[in-house]
Structure 1
Amino acid sequence: MATPAATVRTPSGRRGRPGEPRRVAYLYILPAVAVFGLFILYPLIRTAQFSLYEWDGLGASSWVGLANYQAVFSEPQLRGAFVHALVLIVFYAVVPVTLGLLLAATMSRALLRGLGFFRVVLFLPQVIPMVVVAIAWRQIYEPEGPLNDLLRFVGLDSLARPWLGDYAWALPSVGIVGTWVGTGLCLVLFLAGMARIPRELYEAARLDGAGPLREFVAITLPSVRGELAVALTLTVIAALKTFDLVYVMTSGGPGTETTVPSYQVYNNAFLLGRVGTATALAIVLTAVVFVVTVVINRIGERGQR
């Protein structure tokens, strides 16, 4: 028989649950709300306000309404930046999540020495500053860098090229760096999820004649849906808001082949003096990130149910 919840008599004579009054509870969260409003909400509102004006950042501004948003969707360079971000999602999210799942499934089944060291090595890119990563990979991609030297050494001279200066290969070259950085994070997340799976499930599946592939599809993959949603959320957001790799490695070049939304925000605001267009682009990017995050989390929650 369920025990009824304890009640107390409030100053007005009505009965209620024990604890502080609701007004007092709001005081506890007031400092956090104030910090959020001051450093996040207010700048966001001001950014939305700037996006409705044409302003160079120094002189007088003029009202243009939604013209800046129209420019985001009509100008080829700005629209192309979002296309490049979609391409980077493949390298930043799809490939790392796939590799992380396969590596985690293999490592969770194999009993080999040095697995801890292997995990640390794969996760190491997450703790290295992205500027350092960008400088290191820019040197690797140089025409006379280690990558081309290796290709020449093994007799593949025809594949050597100025990777970051090639119109066809510049964006994939940046994306490969994102794959290298993101795989370790996905691996650690999936290993943590797989460690919670009871071994009895795999033993029962083997007794029923299931092979490794069937075990992965029927047991492992459904058990790490939560970690899969987290990994996709983090990697997709990283792809959409990437800036440092592009800024250091290519500065958006060659031409505009590696421009992404975040770099276009910087380029329009600080180099071209189009603060209104830059803020409109930032608002659109924020909306895209929010929608993608909500969609991924909803899909993950449905899968867990």
Structure 2
Amino acid sequence: MSTFRALVVNKTDESFTVGIETLSLDDLPEGEVTIRVAYSSVNYKDGLAVIPNGKILTRYPMIPGIDLAGTVVRSTDPRFKEGDEVIATSYDIGVSHEGGFSEYARVKTDWVVPLPEGLTLKEAMALGTAGLTAALSVHELEAHDITPDKGPVLVTGATGGVGSLAVAMLAKRGYHVVASTGKETEHGYLHQLGAREIIHRQELTPEKIRPLDKRRWAGAVDPVGGKTLAYVLSTMDHGGAIAVSGLTGGTEVNTTVFPFILRGVKLLGIDSAYCPMELRRTIWKRLASDLKPDHLADITEEITLDQLPETLDLILQGKLRGRKVVNLQ
């Protein structure tokens, strides 16, 4: 194919545009691996990339999309060959390097993961960066001895991409999952994913947060941050741990040292963007096996490239549930 379609964001002193454009392979950046993209996915970070003040893209014009999965059509590196099915997420993809909202992509070999046995290309993007982040969160909680017998594990922002997948993964691993959401219409959805309890998100943002409050959680997966994280810190059990990966609730956390020095609480930062490749491959293998959600299809809705701009707007409004997969075939 000499030409292909992609979502392009452009910004000049006079204007800001987001739209579908027809490009050629010569428009793609340098990289050892050229991929015919089958699917991409929609993340909160992608939503920020298509607004003027999102502070995600480092240059313009740019094809956003931090996730992609597809088939290698050309490789100058012997680690991959034509016909290999692969995944590429995060690093500079969709930020300073042309991304996954495109029918073709060219990336660095060091960013590419072979599709593990047990996953299809579509399932890989139903997971995407959100799934990688959720799985890293569960992996880190387990590494810090947060086991199902220790007590309830809280998931904040539970109807979002990371939250939905974390609920499903933790439930599959046998945890007592408490899901937090402000969407009362989604309780059935969260129970279906495996949540045993559901609480309203307002319960996690009281007007006054004590330095230490009643112990409630053995662990937590928090893609929200802000005031929510401050309250969760104050209500962790002794030896508890919180895997933090997001900022939809704000970047500032007003807390004290007391949860850390009086209860031994651990705050675990989850960085899926620059996760080392060895760990990344390990997590993708787990995503194809013991951490693969039982209800992945129920979490996923497929959209087209033409539907993408509207979907990106909805994710910024907090109106999406689960995962949106972009079909680029």
TM-score (norm 1): 0.25
Bigger fraction of residues in strand? 2
Bigger fraction of residues in helix? 1
Larger radius of gyration: 1
